[in-house]
Amino acid sequence: MENESQHTSAMPRDFTFQLLKQITNDFSEDNRIGVGGYGLVYKGTLDSGEVIAVKKLYYKHPGLDSDKQFQNECTNLMRVRHQNIVRLVGYCHEIRHKCVEHNGKYVFAMVEDRALCFEYLEGGSLDKHLSGHQGYSKLADMSSQEFIQLVHEKWEKALQTTVLSHTSHGVKKCIEIALRCVEADRVKRPTIAEVVDELSKIDTAIIDELNEIDTARSSPIEQVTNLRSNQAFNPCVNSGMFSKGGGKDGKMISSCSSQAIRASSDSVLLSVDIKCQILPSASVKIFSYDNLRLATRKFRANTLLGEGGFGRVYKGWIDENTLSPCKPGTGIIVAVKRLSQESLQGHQEWLAAEVNYLGHLSHPNLVKLFGYCLEDEHQLLVYEFIPRGSLDNHLYRRGPCQPLSWNLRMKVALGAAKALAYLHCAETNIIFRDFGSSHILLDRDYTAKLAGFGLAVNGPVGEESHLTTRVVGTHGYAAPEYIATGHLTQKCDIYCFGVLLLEMLSGLRVLDPNRPAGEQHLVDCARPYLEHKHKIRCVIDANLGGIYSFSAAQKIAALALECVCLDPKKRPTMDAAVSVLEGVQEDEEPEAAEHQESGKKVTASASRKNGKSRWNIFGGGRS
C-alpha cells in the first residue's frame, strides 16, 4: 500500500505573540472556539486570508507538564505531514519580563507566552457529530458473533428504506474489524495497515454499488407518486443542514435535510429539498447583536451564568416593555444563550426547534423565550432568567444549591408533569424527547420550568403509532424500546419522567459507574426495592433527614414503577401522572420516617464521596 505521508522541508512559521494577539482580537471571548487540557483555542485570520486555530497554552498550569506537551506537539507535527493529520501552521515561544508585586515589593518576573497554530477545521471534532447513550442492556454477555448479528440487523432495518440499504454488508465488516481491534489478546489485534486495507475495500465496494444505483435510476421527479398524506414531517423542526438567508433579519435560517419520498413503481427514494423558515410569532422578538452586547455588558465574565454543550449563557438586562437593553439593576433580567461556532450543523437543528416550539407555546411550567438573534456568525437566544438554576444542581448539591425538602420535590415533580401533559395533549402533540433533571429549571418560588426544546418533535398523526428517528437524548433517560428500535412515542417521555421521579425519590444519579454491576442504571438499582413496600425506605434520599410522608412516598414509588415499565402500553398517560401527584399534594404533612412503622427503626444514609452511593439499612434488609 502506498504511504501517503511525507517528510517536508517547509517549516511552520515562527509567529510573534503580538501578531497572534492581533489576529485573535486580543484572545477575545468572541474568537474562542474551544478548550483543552493544556490551553484555550481561538480563531484567527492571517493577512493572507487563511483562517487558523491558535492554541494558547496555559502559563505553567498546575499538574500539567505543558513544556513537554508544547515540545512534543511541535516537533512531531514538524517532522511529518499527511492529509489525515492536522497541519501545524506555526508556533510561538516568547519569554518576557513583567513587573509584579511579590511580598510587598515590585520585582520583574519571567513570563512565557507559548502557542501552537493549526489549520482551521470547520467541522470540529468527531464526537460532536456522534450521538448515542450508555447502554444498560446485557450486551456484554453476548458472543462476538451474536453481537455482530444484532448490530447488523439493526443497521439493515434502519437502512432498508433508503438508497444506502445496499451498503449494510459494509456495516457488518466494520463491526468485525472493530471487535478484532479490541481483542483482549494483543497478538490477535490487526496492524493499522491491515485495518486501512480492509476499510479501503469496503469504501471501494460502496462507491461501486452507488454508481450502479445512479445508473439504474430512470424515473423523473414528476413520476413520483403515492406520497403518504399522513406522514409526520415538520420541516421547521426536523431540519438538517442550515443555510442562512432570507434577508437582513435572518428569518430564513435553514434548508431542511431531504425528505424521503417513495416512488410506487420501483421503491427508489428520491429527495426534494424543502426550504424552512422560523415561524413568525408575535411573542418572539428578533434582537440585534449590538443590543444583546449592551444588555450583557459586552458578554463580560462577571455576567457568565454557565456553559454547556451548545455555548455559554450570560445574564442581561432589558426593558420589560420595549425589550431594549438597559442598565444592570433596572428592567428585567434575562438569560442570553450564545451559541458557539463549533458543531454548527447541530446548532441549527437545535435552534430551529427551540425557536419554533417555545415561540408558539405558552404554559406556566415552560420557560419563556423572549427572542433570538441571527446575524452573520452570531446566534443567540434570549430567555427569562430562572434564578435557582436546574433541578439536578439541587439534587446533587452542586455549588450553593441547597437540598430540596420533600414538599418542594413534590411541587417540582407536579410542575414538570403538567409541562409534559401540556405537550402531550391532542392540540399540541409534541414529544419532548430529552426530558431530565438538567432541563427542569426552578424559579424563585421553586416552580418548575421545562427548558431545552432542541430535540423536540411533533408526535405521530393519523394512523401512525410512532415516529422512527435517530436515537438522541440524555444518557440514562431514554426508554429501552427507543434505544433498541428508534421508535418514538409519547410513552418514551413518560419513561423519562419515571426516571426523574426515581432521582427525586433517591437523590441518586441516573447513571453511576461506581455502583455494583447490574445497578449502575438507577432504574435497575431501585426497582427491586420499590416493588416491595417495606423496602421503599431503603431508597429515600438521606438528605431529607427522614422528614417525608411515607404514604406519599409509596404513591410516588408506585407511579415511578408504572412509568418505567418495560411494556410501553402499560405506562400511564401524563394526565394520569398529574392526577396522582395532585393527590400527593393533598396528602398528610410530612413526618419523620422512623415514626411511620412501629416496632422497627429504618434509616437511610448515603455516602457520595467521589460520586459513590450506598444504602445502609438497619432493622432488616440489605447493607
Q: Which residues are annotated as a binding site for ATP?
A: 337
Find the catalytic residue in 392, 434, 493, 512.
434
Binding-site residue positions: 337
The Cα–Cα gap between 25 and 189 comes to 48
C-alpha cell at 412: 417540582
CA distance 167 to 330: 60
- Between CA 46 and CA 355, with CA 28 as vertex, the angle to 5 degrees is 105
**Residue 126 to residue 133: CA distance in whole angstroms:** 16
**What's at 193, amino acid-wise?**
A
Exposure string of 169-189, with b = 16+ CB inside 10 Å and e = fewer, is ebbbbbbeeeeeeeeeeeeee
Q: Using CA atoms, how far apart are residues 561 and 293, in angstroms rounded to an integer?
A: 48
The number of angstroms, rounded, from the C-alpha of 90 to the middle of its chain's C-alpha atoms is 34
- Rounded CA separation 244/151 (Å): 37
Burial of 389 (0-12, 13-18, 19+ CB in 10 A): middle
Question: Rounded distance, CA 55 to CA 36, Å?
Answer: 9
Cα angle at 524 between 402 and 601, to 5 degrees?
A: 60
Q: Is 434 a catalytic residue?
A: yes
Contact 607, 568 (CB under 8 A): no
Spatial separation of the C-alpha atoms in residues 505 and 510, rounded to whole Å? 12
Decide: 31 and 24 in contact? Cβ < 8 Å: yes
Given the C-alpha cell 415561524, which residue does it identify? 279
Active site residues: 434
